[in-house]
Amino acid sequence: MIAYFGKSIIQKVVTLFFVSVVSFLIIHLAPGEPSQIDPLNPKFTPEMVARMRTEFNLDKPLHVQYLLFYKNLFTGRIVSWRDNLPVLGKIWERFLNSLPLFVVGTILTWTFSFPVGIRSAIMRDGVYDKSATFLAYLLISIPGFFFAYILIILTVTKLHVPVIGMQTFGVTSASPLVQIMDRTWHLVLPSILGATGGVAVLSRYVRSQMLEIIGQDYVRTARAKGLSSETVYYKHALRNALLPFVTMFGLILPGLIGGSVIIESIFSWPGMGRLAYEAILGRDYPVILTLNFITAVLVLAGTLISDLLYMVVDPRIKL
């Protein structure tokens, strides 16, 4: 097991190195010079461009820029080109804003997907299965921004409460309990919106995987032995149906960084998705590269977690 961990970590470090090189090259191969942040501004003189290129090491060879960038990144000295603030500090602040949205949305998605998908598979072609299938495809088909506006209109007109932003204006002067309740309320709609599409898609995967497992010989043998339906479906079939979802579970970690640009924009939620979108529009390459690097780390960490979870789900799998 220790040898496996050592080999896996070495492979992931090598992969991370190539990801960092490729992402760095793609950024510099994009049209335009990185220093052309606001070329239409008359105050943006050639002297200012030259000073900026020197300050951010843009006048050095590409491989030197690469080494200096990641050196500054690992030492925490990399700064944003837009406001000259530390990049890691900006990312950490937005990360704390996106974390509750991500956690609640993920919990809702995985909590409702499996019961809906399993019951649809057990009651195949029944009223429940057809209703769940129709609702799932309906939620998949409705654009997220349209569904968000419907939720906002219904909530504001019926309940007469604010839903935009992370908190109500002026609530900072209220008691801590009121602030917590207000923050929780503002978290409800974005989390539900983020979970609806996930529940619709994931429940379909659960249904198809359960249907495949239910048709196996060992499931029919378990039924022939007289085992209860709950034991057959939830102990024998479900455990074997979980293997594909272990991989999916490990790959949800990048969602901590990616966020949702549409949801965060509609609800004015200052999260990671909006930060990445604003950095791309503003050509803030230090922020873009840092987010890309952290995302790659989370993807590789997620694959390692998936490998470990395979042992829990299926003891036959040996590292």
| Nearest to 129, CA basis, from 204, 214, 74 | 204
Give the domain ranges of the chain.
87-313
The contacts of residue 261 (CB under 8 Å, 6+ apart) are 273, 274, 276, 277
| Phi, psi at 183, each rounded to 5° | -65, -40
> Residues 262-280: pLDDT tens digits?
788 888 888 888 888 888 8
Q: Which residue has the tokens 């694959």?
A: 303
Enter the tokens of residue 109: 């998605």
Structure tokens at 213: 């497992």
What's the Cα-to-Cα distance from 254 to each of 157, 162, 274, rounded to whole Å? 36, 30, 15
pLDDT tens digits along 34-52: 555 554 455 666 676 677 7
Fold of the domain built from segment(s) 87-313: MetI-like fold (1.10.3720)
* Residue whose structure tokens are 């409702």: 112
pLDDT, one tens digit per residue, over 176-219 is 787 788 788 888 888 888 888 888 888 888 888 888 888 777 77
pLDDT value of residue 114: 87
CA pair distance 275, 295, nearest whole angstrom: 14
